[in-house]
């Protein structure tokens, strides 16, 4: 996958996305500040959501449109009221895209209908995100695929059949660059429902890039995902958890987000590559390995025994694998306690 000439593959650093979502709380200046804070925290990209309340649901208070008791956002009562509060005004988009480009952070969005795609195409959106609930919106996936841009899809509300159909829709409509993010659509997501092993399986089953769209608290789950092969990590980002945002309660603030990024970058280095050579950092500790040394003075012509040689640290003497071989051999010169044992100073017959 190529995003703004940034290649994401199994060998590249993890692509880390800060999800703004509704965390601007309806304040344009806060949205700008979030972009800058995400950049400072090490994010590769800032992601928006592009919808209006009337493009995502109906202004209706029938039971079907009411938020159920126990829902994290039940205080807003209806879907329409929630999305009216949470949406990012469309007239902000150009300024937000321009600001991100100015400071050098990727910016893209998750459209929720075809008119949102039209808007984002005008802004040359470099990649599209399909949110978990939209993975069954085949018309939307088709429209996004036809832009020729890479597509990232979350699977929080997807069955295996849904993912298979989404892939067919993408490929049938000309999209060859796509990635799937394992997601648990719960806020916050409980550990027992995250199932990172499914992400690993998706990579092999669908032969594609995988990652994690994470709604858990903290950063341990994203870090674990990276160790399992995640190439994309998405996490909600908020300036202050006390902000009156509908998503603040499960988002990371700048300090937490930077810690996550730093931990991911550290883990990536630690994962490294398959290499059985002794590392440069370890070579200085080679003296801790054992080797064969003279443990008491030996005179020329004396027989080598377990009493006058020993396998000890450091490692500058003869390799311990020769211990049995040299027993019974004869010293060809005088040796002192602490001398390195060497084959050239030994013989089988004393000559």
Share of the chain above pLDDT 70, in %: 98
Give, as one character, the DSSP assignment of residue 252. B
Tokens encoding 344: 């050239």
Q: Which residue has the tokens 């509704």?
A: 22
Give pLDDT, residue 127: 98
Q: The pTM is what?
A: 0.89
Q: What is the pLDDT of residue 350?
A: 60
Pick the CATH number of 282-347 from 3.90.1210.10, 3.50.50.60, 1.10.10.10, 3.30.70.1400: 3.90.1210.10
By CB atoms closer than 10 A (0-12, 13-18, 19+), residue 62 is exposed
pLDDT for the residue 317: 95
The verdict on domain 8-52+87-271 having CATH code 3.20.20.70 is yes
Contact between 330 and 346 (Cβ < 8 Å): yes
Confidence grade of residue 70 (pLDDT, cut at 50, 70, 90)? confident
Whether residue 109 contacts residue 120, with contact meaning beta carbons closer than 8 Å, is answered with: yes
> Considering the chain, what percentage of its residues have pLDDT values greater than 90?
87
Task: Identify the pLDDT of residue 351.
Answer: 64
Q: Where are the domains of the chain?
A: 8-52+87-271, 282-347
Report the DSSP beta bridge partners of residue 234.
Answer: 17, 213
């Amino acid at each position: 996958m190529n995003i703004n000439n940034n290649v994401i593959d199994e060998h590249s650093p993890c692509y880390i996305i800060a999800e703004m979502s509704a965390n601007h709380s309806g304040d344009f200046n806060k949205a700008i500040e979030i972009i800058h804070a995400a950049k400072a925290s090490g994010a590769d990209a800032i992601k928006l959501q592009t919808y209006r309340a009337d493009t995502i649901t109906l202004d209706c208070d029938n039971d079907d449109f009411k938020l159920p008791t126990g829902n994290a956002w039940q205080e807003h009562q209806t879907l329409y009221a929630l999305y009216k509060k949470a949406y990012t005004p469309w007239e902000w988009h150009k300024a937000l895209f321009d600001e991100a480009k100015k400071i050098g952070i990727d910016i893209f969005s998750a459209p929720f209908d075809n008119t949102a795609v039209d808007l984002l195409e005008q802004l040359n959106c470099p990649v599209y995100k399909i949110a978990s609930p939209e993975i069954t919106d085949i018309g939307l996936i088709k429209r996004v695929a036809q832009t020729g841009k890479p597509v990232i899809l979350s699977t929080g509300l997807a069955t295996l059949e849904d993912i298979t159909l989404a892939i067919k829709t993408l490929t049938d409509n000309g999209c060859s660059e796509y990635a799937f993010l394992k997601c648990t659509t719960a806020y916050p997501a409980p550990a027992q429902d995250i199932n990172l092993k499914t992400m690993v399986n998706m990579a092999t089953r669908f032969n594609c890039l995988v990652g994690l769209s994470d709604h858990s608290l903290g950063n341990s789950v994203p870090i674990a995902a990276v160790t399992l092969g995640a190439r994309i990590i998405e996490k909600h980002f908020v300036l202050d958890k006390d902000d009156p945002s509908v998503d603040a309660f499960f988002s990371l603030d700048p300090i937490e987000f930077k810690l996550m990024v730093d931990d991911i970058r550290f883990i990536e280095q630690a994962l490294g590559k398959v290499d059985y050579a002794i590392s440069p950092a370890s070579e200085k500790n080679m003296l801790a390995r054992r080797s064969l040394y003279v443990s008491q003075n030996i005179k020329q012509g004396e027989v080598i025994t377990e009493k006058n040689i020993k396998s000890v640290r450091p490692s500058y003497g003869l390799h311990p694998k020769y211990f049995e071989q040299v027993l019974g051999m004869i010293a060809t010169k005088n040796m002192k306690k602490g001398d390195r044992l060497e084959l050239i100073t030994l013989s089988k017959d004393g000559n």
